[in-house]
Structure 1
């Protein structure tokens, strides 16, 4: 079987699908990622990639969104998720940027199944144009359902151009811990983190001398809202008996206190098993990787779905949601010492590990799509 994975220009949409793609490959199937921009980094996982929109990246995409729907973008970045029609308007802009390239690749490669990242919906049109089944792969706690019919209406010209209708067979893969969402959707799938390829430093294999706290803002938030939360942590670090590890990629935070280690880009799935806690921005990939590692989280949300993730972490008792201005030594000490956070984080980790593995789900999808 040939499986085409479709993701937009961002690692946050491409990386969560890597474990399932690898499961298909391990079972003897062929896979291809159709993506662009930052999403092309999925090739570092050893998976074939097609650039469906050369020159496109997340910055270009956001500029296009802001030009066409400035109010909706401001609302999204403030954490106000719109209704179906507003959400579909934003998704429609992204679809138009890469749908022609995706379908061109698909018609040439001839997949038997399309797997699209949650709420991207370029895969929806692609599967409809080719008359093959569609799988939507979600990546966190946000529920994105009921958009297909609205998008079919708003993108009628795109559907007509490619001779597409809504696929007859569709299913969803849900990686969220059932105890953290009101309504599980579709087929459960264990979230197996993939956070990029990088050599791990030698010190990571050594037991930390004191509790270690990871600090990250992901790959998107620093460009949108800056590194204010990190600067606040640096100002407080000397008051906390802990080692802080900054996983900030290419961001330079300036001089570091003695108990703060800067690492550049470091995959969280390698770092977090050595940590007692994590402070982060609320990105879906970071939130889910922390849940998989079973470490308490301090979430400082900065836009879009990050507020949903922060609220879910807080409500389940696996961490604390706060505003940047609320971060002080008391809150950081609580993150390290509150026993209930560790107990609940361990419980959710066990819940995630009990979900069907990617290999199991890949086999089920082959049977379902055949």
Structure 2
């Protein structure tokens, strides 16, 4: 497996890593930074760029290509959104040649039978082509990267040429998007999303609050992902804290990446947990407010919860907001509209909750990661390789 160094890029691939190992296959993950979270989930990793994270890659891209960042931040208005994503990823990889070459070198040394990779990760395509093996893209879900091999071949052509290869002869795509929330390409392999937000020991105070504490009011979970929060996050949090005292609900801020010091003393019905596994929090909540990441969106759906997404700009978020709002499982609103009126309206919206439960059942009926492992074996066998 080759994974971009971001938690949101890593977690969707954990269930397939588990399934491959349970089927007796040997798995190695080539990544760095947050991509090595696969190791905490029990999958062997190799660090191809010690200390490097997706956040650092984005920062370097912003310094060298502010024009690309500007396009991403206005992507809701960009008719060439897919091309904008490809341009950003190719640019970020071009600024990290050591990581790119280390990924390719790791594949050449380990000689796998197939490479499963996170979307738009060009080194995986180059390595698969050099080894003559299939390359299988594991989509994030809700964020489409249709025909990304062709796009990355165009955007990152010098890397293919430097290694003397073209695109791999055999490619496939794993898509975890529920059919009712997006267009599924006919040749994609559908797979059920299994939310994973990290393992480890749940702090005792978090456990007491989430599991033992009795409650008779709705709970609103607030989270803004694992990376740097969007620029308008502080405004949203202030609005939520201001609305809380007048609401018959409790609020949980699971946002360790958000500075809460300027808020002063919090209302009695607002609790901060810092880090907490989202699945633990969402399973005992009534509503989720989040930054628009696919992991958070899927976590809310699999918990049968409505969700509110402030319309932050940034990579992929407009696509996720469109999918969530279009299916009726949540709302995407301007950050300034997150307040008491909106919160009470969504908490009372049974239609939205029903839609989330419908999609949850839809996901449960999709092929499992174990089913996809079987298809990977067939792909390797039919391409002249071996599975093992």
CA distance in 2, matches of 1:149, 1:297: 34
Q: Give the Cα–Cα distance (whole angstroms) in 2 for the partners of residues 190 and 291 of structure 1.
A: 12
Which whole-Å CA distance do the structure 2 matches of 1:333 and 1:27 have between them?
A: 47
Match of 1:204 among 205, 210, 217: 210
Q: Do the aligned partners of 2:120 and 2:152 also contact (CA within 8 Å) in 1?
A: no
SS of the aligned residue for 1:281 comes to coil
Cα distance in 1 for partners of 2:326, 2:215 equals 30
Structure 2 gap segments, 5+ residues each: 382-388
- Could you tell me which of 76, 89, 92 is aligned with 2:90? 92
**Pair 1:225–1:104, CA change in 2 (3 A):** farther
Query: Is this contact kept in 1: 2:3–2:117, CA < 8 A?
Result: yes
1:106-185 aligned within 5 A: 106-184=107-185
**Change in 2 beyond 3 A, CA 1:283/1:161:** same
Q: Indicate which of 54, 58, 81 corresponds to 1:58.
A: 54
> Distance between the aligned counterparts of 1:215 and 1:325, measured in 2?
16
| CA distance in 1: counterparts of 2:21 and 2:301, whole angstroms | 26
Alignment of 1:354-365 (within 5 A): 354-365=365-376
Q: Give the stretch that moved more between structures: 105-114 or 60-69.
A: 60-69
Distance 2:316 2:85 in 1: 12
Give the alignment's Cα RMSD to 1 decimal: 1.8
- CA-CA distance at 1:203 after TM superposition: 2.7
Note the C-alpha offset of 1:279.
Answer: 0.7
**How far is the alpha carbon of 1:60 from its aligned partner?**
2.5
Aligned partner of 1:332 in structure 2 is 343
1:50-70 Cα shifts (integer Å, max 9, x gaps): 111223222321123223321
Secondary structure of 2:30's partner?
strand
Contact residue 317 and residue 344 of structure 1 kept, 8 A: yes
Query: Is the Cα–Cα contact under 8 Å of residues 221 and 302 in structure 1 kept in the other structure?
Result: no
2:360 is paired with a residue whose SS is helix
Maintained 8 Å contact 2:138/2:174: yes
How far did 1:224 drift?
5.0
Q: Deviations over 1:230-281 (max 9, x none)?
A: 2211111112211111111253423321111111111111211111110111
| Equivalent runs, 1:67-86 vs 2, <5 Å | 67-80=63-76, 82-83=80-81, 85-86=83-84
Shift of 1:192: 0.4
- Alpha-carbon deviation of 1:220? 2.1
- Asked whether the equivalents of residues 9 and 56 of structure 1 are also in contact (C-alpha less than 8 Å), the reply is yes
Residue matched to 1:367: 378
Conserved 8 A contact 1:295-1:345: yes
Task: Map 1:128-277 to 2 at 5 A.
Answer: 128-184=129-185, 186-200=188-202, 201-206=207-212, 207-222=214-229, 224-254=231-261, 255-277=265-287
Alignment: residue pair count = 366
Alignment partners' CA distance in 1, 2:294 and 2:196: 12
Q: What stretches of structure 1 move > 6 A for 4+ residues in a row? A: none
- 40-49 vs 263-272, which moves further: 40-49
- Cα deviation, residue 20, structure 1: 0.4
Q: Deviations over 1:119-177 (max 9, x none)?
A: 22321112112111011011121211123223223333211322332111111011111
TM-score of the superposed pair, with normalisation by structure 1: 0.93
- TM-score, with length taken from structure 2: 0.89
In structure 1, stretches of 5+ residues that fail to align are none
Q: Is 2:103 the counterpart of 1:102?
A: yes
- Per-residue CA deviation, residues 33-57 of structure 1 (Å, 9 max, x unaligned), is 1111222222211211111122322
For residues 319 and 84 of structure 2, the distance between their equivalents in structure 1, rounded to whole angstroms, comes to: 18
1:336/1:180 CA distance change after superposition, 3 Å: same
